Each structure stands twice: as structure tokens, then as C-alpha cells.
Amino acid sequence: MNTRLTMAATAAVALAAWGVLGSGVAAEKAVQLPLPAQDEKATAPTETAVFAGGCFWGVQGVFQHTKGVLNAVSGYAGGDAASANYDTVSTGRTGHAESVQVTFDPKQVSYGQLLRIFFSVAHDPTTLNRQGPDTGTQYRSALFVNGPEQKRVAEAYIAQLDAARVFPSRIVTQVAPLTGFHPAEAYHQDYATLHPQQPYIATFDLPKIANLKATMPDLYREQPVLVAAQGKG
């Protein structure tokens, strides 16, 4: 929905049109989840993982506030390079999902711990091609895995959570090989931090960050690691 990109005043109109302002609809509540029974073994100083869970603004914001995350970039995964731009992806016909590429230090935070955050506070993994007011395949829940170890851990954790019935419905998260990640336009980066009063951010994304702080304080960092700060200093 291109209306999601407007400034605060227009965004308020868009949210009213969606019927969410004053309706009590807000970000998904955090779900208390067990730790993954299986996890990766840290073998490299840094690692990357790609997560898709609806609008990338909120997913990026959550991971930017996660300890051990070195960078979190909004972008597109699942389609080809030629169609990796916001207007085209927004048609829902490119195969892309709005995604976040997370670079992390596996000695500080494991892939399994990032999965726990992803399923608990970053999005609702039981809704097919929808998160909040956003609908379409570009908003699907997906894990674009970087190799067999991530695939093994991701699939095992999904099976573990489904078996424990921690959600009222089965998890619909797609696990797919990462064939390419394409950073989104500059105006999408650090969006939750730069526009905290924008109605969409205040309604759907800031509560996710607050849920991270409340439910996993050991993994929460107060100051986010921002894309804009990379390479400076």
C-alpha cells in the first residue's frame, strides 16, 4: 500500500480508511515462546539472516534494538533484481517479500534467539500473506535461509512451536533458500526510529519494540543500531 509511505497527516487518513484508528487494532501481542531446542553453533565472527514478517519498518526496528545485531537493512527477497523496488513489489506480483537482512555476532546472539524474537514479537507467523492492515504476498511470513544450518534450525523451531501449540493456529512461515537480497530505497531505512509519531509506526511498530524490551530484556538494547550510522565515526 503506497499510502503507507506518506507523511504523518496523510498516514492518519490512510489508517482511518483502513478502519484501524480508534478500533483497538494494534500490533500483535508478544507470545511467550520457549527457547529453540536446536540452534546453530557459532563458527564465524559474523553471520547474516533474512527475515520477512509484513512491513519491513517494524521488523527492522525490532532487530535494530536487539543486542548482538550489527546491522539490520530493509529490503526485498524472493524475486529478481529487476523488480526489487517498492512500487513494483507493492503490486504483489514480483515474488518478493518485504524483508530485513540482519547481520549479527553469533557469540552475542544466536540465530535461534533471533528466530525466537521473530516469532514472538516481530510479527504474527500464523496469518497468511497479511500483517496488521497490510495484505498481499509481499507481506508474507518467510525465512530466507542462508545455508543448510539455518534451514535445519528454522524448520526444527517451527515444528517445535507447532507441536507445543503456542499459537492458536499453525505457523504458515515459508522457509526458502536465500537467492538474493536487495536493499530497499534509502527513505525506508531506519523508518521507525526517524518517524516515531507517524500513526502507522506508533500503532503497529513501536509496540513491537516495547514487547521486546518487556519480554526479553536480556536481548534488548536501548539505542538502536542504525543503517545511517554504518561506516561513520
User: How would residue 231 be classed by pLDDT, with cut points 50, 70 and 90?
Assistant: low
Q: What are phi and psi of 14, to 5 degrees?
A: -65, -45
Query: Which pLDDT band, with edges at 50, 70 and 90, does 12 fall under?
Result: very low
Output the CA torsion sign for 54, 125, 117, 112: negative
Residue among 229, 194, 195, 224 at smallest CA distance from 209: 224
If pLDDT is split at 50, 70 and 90, which confidence band does 27 have? low
Q: Domain map of the chain by residue range?
A: 45-227
Structural contact between residues 200 and 11, judged by C-beta atoms closer than 8 angstroms: yes
Q: How far is CA 203 from CA 38, 46, 84, 198, 227, in A?
A: 34, 33, 27, 9, 23
Nearest to 76 by CA among 46, 93, 100: 100
Backbone phi, psi, residue 71, to 5°: -165, 145
**Residue 92 is a catalytic residue:** no
Please identify which of the residues 15, 30, 33, 55 carries the catalytic annotation.
Answer: 55
Q: What is the pLDDT of residues 116-138, one digit of tens each?
A: 999 999 999 999 999 999 999 99
Q: Identify which has the larger pLDDT, 16 or 221.
A: 221
Task: Name the strand (E) or helix (H) holding 142.
Answer: strand 141-145
**How much is the pLDDT for 232?**
63
- Return the pLDDT at 42: 81
Spacing of C-alpha 185 from chain mean position: 17
Residue 28 has pLDDT above 70, yes or no: no
CA geometry: angle 75, 80, 81, nearest 5 deg = 65
pLDDT value at residue 20: 42
pLDDT number for residue 13: 39
What is the per-residue pLDDT across 47-62, written as a single tens digit (0 to 9) for each?
999 999 999 999 999 9
The neighbouring-strand residues paired with 181 are: 77
Q: What percent of the chain has pLDDT over 90?
A: 83
pLDDT of res. 24: 41
pTM of the predicted protein model:
0.90
Tens digits of residue pLDDT in 188-198: 999 999 999 99
pLDDT at 43: 86
- Average pLDDT for 164-186: 98
Stretch 53-73: mean pLDDT: 98
pLDDT-based confidence at residue 2 (cuts at 50, 70, 90): very low
SS3 146: coil
Average pLDDT, the chain: 90
**Entry field: residues in the chain:** 233
Using the predicted structure, report yes or no on whether residue 21 has a pLDDT greater than 70. no
**45-227 CATH fold:** Peptide Methionine Sulfoxide Reductase; Chain A (3.30.1060)
**Count of Cβ atoms closer than 10 Å to residue 35 Cβ:** 12
Q: Do residues 104 and 79 make contact, with C-beta atoms less than 8 angstroms apart? A: no
- How would residue 29 be classed by pLDDT, with cut points 50, 70 and 90? confident
| Distance of alpha carbon 79 from alpha carbon 27, whole angstroms | 27
